């Protein structure tokens, strides 16, 4: 029988699976899918943890056995990102994302933020009372209060109305 190398451990401690030239402590190469499986034999969580030389955890990427949620965190800032398995919601800076994207803190868009819906789309500003800036089905820019009453409109024709919906 012909023998072929399946794994290599080099003198400096690099381990290669599917490669004869590992570039790091663990280097996995596959022609179709390079996948690592972490499986618990009970009800524990699975993940990857980063520690310093004293064994103190610096950060982790873990999956909760109870909920299936996936969390990325570090020791100084706490939870950075959470993916809620049951809802598909993603949270940045929160452990309990309530929307498809829930950001706790400041966010920056370095180009264009696009709101795309087949019907009206809006931005909600909330601090005690809610205010909305939205585009209706006619392409008019509307300013609305908490009760969805119009505070003003900027029509796609260029007309602007304050306190009226038909300037």
pLDDT tens, 57-84?
888 888 887 778 888 888 877 778 899 9
Convert 10-41 to b/e letters by CB count within 10 Å (16 or more is b).
Answer: eeeebebeebeebeeeebeeeeeeeeeeeeee
- Sequence length of the chain is 167
**pLDDT in the model for residue 88:** 92
Task: Report pLDDT digits (tens) over 1-10.
Answer: 787 777 888 8
pLDDT (tens digit per residue) in 80-128: 889 998 999 999 988 889 999 999 888 888 898 887 777 777 888 888 8
Predicted structure pTM score = 0.63
């Amino acid at each position: 029988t012909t023998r072929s190398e399946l794994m290599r451990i080099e003198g400096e401690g690099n381990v290669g699976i599917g490669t004869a030239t590992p570039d790091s402590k663990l280097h996995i190469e596959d022609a179709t899918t390079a996948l690592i499986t972490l499986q618990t034999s009970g009800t524990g969580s699975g993940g990857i943890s980063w520690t310093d030389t004293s064994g103190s955890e610096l950060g982790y990427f873990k999956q909760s056995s109870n909920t299936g949620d996936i969390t990325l965190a570090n020791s100084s800032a706490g939870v950075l990102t959470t993916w809620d398995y049951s809802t598909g919601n993603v949270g940045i800076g929160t452990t309990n994302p309530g929307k498809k994207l829930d950001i706790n803190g400041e966010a920056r868009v370095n180009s264009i933020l696009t709101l795309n819906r087949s019907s009206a789309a809006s931005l909600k500003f909330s601090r005690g009372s809610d205010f909305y800036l939205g585009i209706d089905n006619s392409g008019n820019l509307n300013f609305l209060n908490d009760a969805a009453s119009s505070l003003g409109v900027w029509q796609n024709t260029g007309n602007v109305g304050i306190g009226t919906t038909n300037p």
